[in-house]
Every structure is written in C-alpha cells, then in structure tokens.
Amino acid sequence: MESKELLSHYILESEKINLEKFERKIKIAMISSFTINGLAETLKVKCFENKIRCITFEGGYNQYNQEILDENSNLYKFSPEITFLIFDVRSIFGELFYSPYSLSEQERKNFVNKKNSEITSLIKKFRETSTSKLVISNLGMPHYSPHGIAETKTRYSFHDMIMDFNQKLKETILDFESVYIFDIFCFMIKHGETNVFNFQNYLFGDIKIAINYIPKLAHELMSFVISTLGLTKKCIVLDLDNTLWGGIVGEDGFDGIRLGPQPPGNAYVEFQKTIKALTQRGIILAINSKNNFDDAMKIIQEHPHMILKDNDFACIKINWNDKVSNMKEIANELNLGLDSFVFFDDDPVNRELVRKTIPDVTTPELPDDPSKYVEILQSLNEFSVFQITNEDLNRKKMYSQQRNRQVSEVSSTNLGEFLKTLDLHVSIKKSNSFTIPRISQLILKTNQFNLSTKRYQEDDIRKFSDDDQVLIGCAQVKDKFGDNGITGVFIVKKLNSDEWFLDTFLLSCRVMGREVEKAILNYIINEAKKNGIRKIKSQYIVTKKNKPVENFLPDCGFVQENGFWVFDLTKTFHVPEFLTTNIE
Amino acid sequence: MSEKLYQIISKVMGIPALEINDESSQEDIESWTSFKGYVLLDELETNFNVKFSIDEAMNVKNVGDIKRHLQNHGVQIS
C-alpha cells in the first residue's frame, strides 16, 4: 500500500487544509454500529480535492438508534444533506454471529425479518424527520460459517440470512425517496474480507473496517457526495493509439496494431468493453486523437476486433491539432462544460498539457501497462448517479442524432431556415413521480442555460409539486431526428394575486439555440394571464458558466425594474412559428 | 534507523521530530490518543514491514517500547 493511501496521510492533511475558500458546500453526517474514526478527516480531504467544503458530524459510538429516534438529537440539529448509516454484520447478529444454528430454520427467518423491520422503522423515522439523503449500508458477507463446507448444504443457512437481509433491505429502500444503499457487500468483495477486517483493530478498538481501508471506504462514499452535488462527469474523451489499441496506426498499419483475442491486444478489447459498459448509464464518448483521419476511421469502422464503433461516439476529433484545442471544440460541440469530461491518453506529455491548461478536465494517470486500464477506469467514482433515468438510457442515441443535426445545420444557409426544417415539438409536462427524477437531475446538473442555478434537492421539488403556490413543470423536446427527452425545467412562485416570480428556468445544453425556451415561457405567460396576474418578475443570477442565458429575459421582453427583470402581462408575447407546443 | 522511526512518529502525531526521544510517552504527547496509537502501529507495520503481536501492540507506553518491539522483529535501531 502506498503511503499516500494510508489513513495517517489523510488525518494529517485534514489538519492542514483550508476549506473556507470553496463556494460548494456539503454537510455530511456519519452514524454507525462501530468505530469509524478517521472517516470524517478522510472525507474532508477528498472533498477538498474536489473543491468542496465539507462539514461533518459523527454520531456517538453505536448510538445510531438514539440519533435517529430522538427528534432532538444532535444528528437532526446538524441538519445534514447526506447521512451515512453504516452497519456491520457482527453488531447486527450479536451472539448469533457465532451461533446462528442455535436457532431453528424458522427462528433464523424470524430473526432476519425482525432485524429488517427494525431498520425499516429507523428509515421511516429518519425520512419523516430529516430532508437529508440517507445512505444506508447493507451487510458484508463473512467467509466464515459455523457449518464450514456444509454451509451450502444447509437450508436458510447463516450466509442465506445475510443475503436475505440484504435483499429485503434493498426492497425496502425502493419504496422510500432519497434513501440509497452503500453496497458494503461489494466493497468487501472488492478488497477482500481478510484485508478489510483486521482482528487487532477490532479487538483493540471495535474497529470493524481496518484503519487503512478507511480511505478506500471514503472513496466509495464520495460517489454519493459527487452525485448529490451534481458533479458527475458526463463524457469520456479517448485517445486512440496505445489507448484504444496497441501500437500506432500511422506506423504499424491496419494489420499491425494490437487489438484482438491474443495478449496484449485483448487488454485493449477489454478496456473498450469496459468503456462501452459505462454508456449503459448514459456516459457519452468522444475521440481526441492526433492521426490521419482516414487511417484511424478505417480501424474504427472496419477492424474486426474494434468494440467501439462510429455510432458509439458523440463527437470525433481526429486531426493534427493539439489536444487542448480539440478538447475545447468537443466541449463546444457537445455543449458541455469542460468539467464534464474525463480524458484518457497514454501519453504523459498530453496528459500534463491537458491538466495544466484545462484543469477542469479530469485526466487520470494511465500506466504503461494496458492490462491496468480497466481497473483504473473502474476505480473512478466520477461517473456516479443515484438513479438511471430514461434520458440516461437514450443519451447515446440522442447524441448520435445530434451529430446528424449538425451535418444538416451546415447544409442550411441560415439558422432560422435550419430551425424551420427541424420540425420542433415542445411538450409541457407536469412535475410528478414520472418526471421528478429527471427534473431533479437537470436542476443539479445544468450550468449554462440556467437563469438562477438554484440547486434544489429532490425533496424540495416534491414539495413544490404539491404546493399550489408554485407552478413547476418540465418540457420534452422532439424534432425530426428524434426525441431529446425532458430537457427544460421551470419553477414559478406565485407571490400574490398580482405578481408571479420566475424562480428557476433552465434548458439542457442539448436543446439550446433552438428557441424552445420561448415555447416554455409562453406557457408560463398564458398561465399567468389566465390567473389574472399583471407581472412576472425574475432575476438573472450570474455564475461562471451561465453566460448563454444572459440575454434570455431582455430578448423575451422583460425590462429592468428595481433590480428585477419584469414582464408586463398586458404585452403580447410572440412564439416563433416553427415551434409546436402541446400541454399535457 | 531511529531517525526514520522519529519521522514516522512526528508525522502521525503532528509534532516536530526533534521533540521526540525514547522517553516520549502517551502522557507527554498530547496528540497521542488511542486512535492515533492504532494509526501509528499501522504506519510502522507498513514502513518496517513487520507485524506486531497483540501483546506488543498493548505494551506501547513510550517510544522506547516501540524500539524494543521493532528490534524483536529484527529491525536494526541504534
């Protein structure tokens, strides 16, 4: 283990760092059935590395029941945004950890049911009392069983009890909003129970995750932090030579590159398969390579062992330009901020260049050995999302349609004419259980066309949806190339019988530049008129990234009045004719 | 070797290496909590490639004890 992975490194760093300087902030509570000293310090350091100011609360030793059941507990006073509740199998099973077979099969089942219902009531109480996200661990599997090899010949065995407990816990949390599982079961598989559990640590201090595995635990928990703050990366940008295949196409030729069933070519096949697997959660792909376009494209299109094909990429830059300019062009074409990208390149010089010039892009170290690529990709927690939406599932298709749109854009002579040919349809939808996950995702992730960049959590959105003083909804945009899915969100607060306040208005980068925002605004204006409102007020809150929305309000006829942008509802609002709107 | 040992203790306890000697104990070093004690043992095990027994781990009251245990594991300490 390298010294920078040791817990002492994090404990010392945590004393040195200054978190005050970061705007981005998160409050994390940790409660557990055992001692997890050092976790708070490690999370602080890891948050610091991600430019997050992290404030932590640690519950008392094995006090999780009291912290959750007592409405006046320090946990609730802390008002966390994420709460980690971490269990271990020894605490849950107690004496039964060593003597599960002192119970009959039926009693073992009853025991698991009882433990599950205890935890369900904790979740219920927590959900009623706090708006924090709750991340609850399942149980790790001990390799040991009192029955030894007969374990697997035993009905409802010790190991079955743990599996059953975990399965029931999973089914329970599916019924709760903003409750998730930290899969400690998989964490133990990843690192091995005999490593993660150290008897000396346990006997000395009831430390059930060995001291030097605390940083690895923190790494996994950071996935939830990244996802809560909407810092999830959206696109992997790939070099080609010695990254997606072995060798250099310009020198080794179509037949000479290493890519196929034999080592070392199979290392690249495996890496490509891992990348492709990530597209299943909505990650998009791009190429940034210094090469002859035709030579490289021939491999992508025709090589029999190439896993990633032409249509797997949302953007392809194969040319002799430097990697940084290409990177910026990719960001531009995909309408994504540079901080949405992870860049893979085997060349240390290119990596350094990108890290120095565009530090917002995440550029992981790649070793010379391609057999290590898969592990490096799988170890990144930057692609974490709480749940997979329909938009995530269809994103790859939508981006390849987008590539077709751009070709069509070039062939139209002007923008207005191009937009007319697109056959744009905007559907205004209510905020309900079907649309809320996507609304929440857009609110957390959208940076550019976002009027106020207010990062409401899913709970807030649910409250707005039930509040008749709030008009909240979203918009789905379709065109002749396909369905872009839900790509617009608005929140209007009904201040009084005269004035409404446009609190949030955003568009996904995918549909920017098509004036669909006017169809959405028109809907809001019509609703306001129906209710006899005189004015809609709004504000443009400047961030580093939301320049694209700067002129939206004045362009739509809002005028400045006492520090607000105000639309006078006696005025008529014109929607471009090429937009078709329907209200669901 | 004493120097390497002092550096590790200094790093874990967050105090200058110059302030450490064989008599430095849990009583003198304020940051030497029981938790920091585990962290120190872990750090020593990794750096000197040894494994302490539970008896050794329990009998660490001062830096001299650590030296003795390391020597028992064949680590040369002046």
A417-431, pLDDT tens digit by residue? 778 888 899 999 999
Is pLDDT of A551 > 70?
Answer: yes
Query: Phi first, then psi: what are they for A441, rounded to 5°?
Result: -60, -45
- Tokens 């602080």 belong to A44
Q: Is the dihedral of CA A82, A28, A42, A47 positive or negative?
A: positive
CATH architecture of A3-228: 3-Layer(aba) Sandwich (3.40)
- CB B7 within 8 Å of CB A177: no
> Between B38, B47, B54, which is nearest A207 by CB?
B38
Residues 198-217 of A with CB under 8 A from B: 200-201, 203-205, 207, 211-212
* A420-583 CATH: 3.40.630.30
Collect all residues of chain A within an 8 Å Cβ-Cβ radius of residue B46. Answer: 1, 3, 6, 212
Q: Is B60 on the interface with A (CB under 8 A)?
A: no
Q: Is residue A408 very low, low, confident or very high in pLDDT (cuts 50, 70, 90)?
A: low
Contact check, Cβ <8 Å, B42/A8: yes
Fold for A235-379, please state it: Rossmann fold (3.40.50)
Residue boundaries of the structural domains of chain A: 3-228, 235-379, 420-583
The tokens of A475 are what? 């918009």
The alpha carbon of residue B46 is apart from the nearest alpha carbon of chain A, in Å, by 8
Question: What confidence tens digit (pLDDT) does each residue in B13-46 have?
Answer: 988 988 899 999 988 898 898 888 988 998 899 8
Q: How high does pLDDT run on average in chain A?
A: 92
Residues 2 through 31 of chain B touching chain A, CB cutoff 8 Å: 11-12, 14
User: Chain A residues with CB inside 8 Å of B34's CB?
Assistant: 204-205
Asked if A534 contacts A527 with a C-beta cutoff of 8 angstroms, the reply is: no
Among A7, A15, A203, beta carbon nearest to B39: A7
Q: Do B46 and A3 touch (CB under 8 A)?
A: yes
Distance, in Å, from the CA atom of A442 to the CA atom of A565, rounded to the nearest integer, reads: 24
pLDDT at A409: 64
d(CA A470, CA A452): 16
Minimal Cβ distance to A201: which of B11, B38, B47: B38
Helix (H) or strand (E) holding A28: strand A25-32
Cα Rg, chain A, nearest whole Å: 27
Cβ contacts of residue A75 below 8 Å, gap of 6+?
Answer: A29, A31, A57, A59, A67, A68, A83, A130
Q: Would you call B43 and A8 a contact, using CB atoms and an 8 Å cutoff? A: yes
Q: B50 touching A, CB under 8 A?
A: no
Q: Do domains A3-228 and A235-379 have the same CATH topology?
A: yes
Among candidate residues A533, A569, A524, the one with its CA nearest the CA of residue A428: A524
Residues of B in contact with A12 (CB under 8 A): 11-12, 14
8-state DSSP, A469: T
- Return d(Cα A293, Cα A319) in angstroms, integer: 6
Q: What is the pLDDT of residues A345-401, one digit of tens each?
A: 999 989 999 999 999 999 999 999 999 999 999 999 999 988 888 888 888 788 877
Residues in chain A: 584
Residue A23, classed as helix, strand or coil, is: coil
Strands A284-290 and A133-137 come out as unpaired
Two tokens, residue A148:
């030894």
Across the interface, of A12, A203, A211, the residue whose CB is closest to B42 is A211
- Hey, which of A92-106, A499-513, B63-77 has the most confident mean pLDDT? A92-106
pLDDT digits (tens, 9 = 90+) for A127-139: 999 999 999 999 9
Task: Check residue A138 and give its pLDDT.
Answer: 97
| CB-based contact, A12 to chain B, within 8 Å | yes
| Residues in chain A within 8 Å Cβ distance of B42 | 6-8, 211-212
User: Residue A357 has which token pair?
Assistant: 């010039």
In chain A, helix, strand, coil percent, each to 5? Answer: 50, 20, 35
Q: Per residue in A449-482, pLDDT tens?
A: 999 999 999 899 999 999 999 999 999 999 887 8
Going by the DSSP 8-state scheme, the letter that residue B16 receives in this structure is -
Tens-digit pLDDT profile for residues A15-24:
888 878 888 9
From B38, B57, B58, residue closest to A211, measured CB to CB: B38
ipTM of the shown complex: 0.87
Average pLDDT over residues A545-557: 90
**Closest by Cβ to A37, choosing from B35, B43, B47:** B35
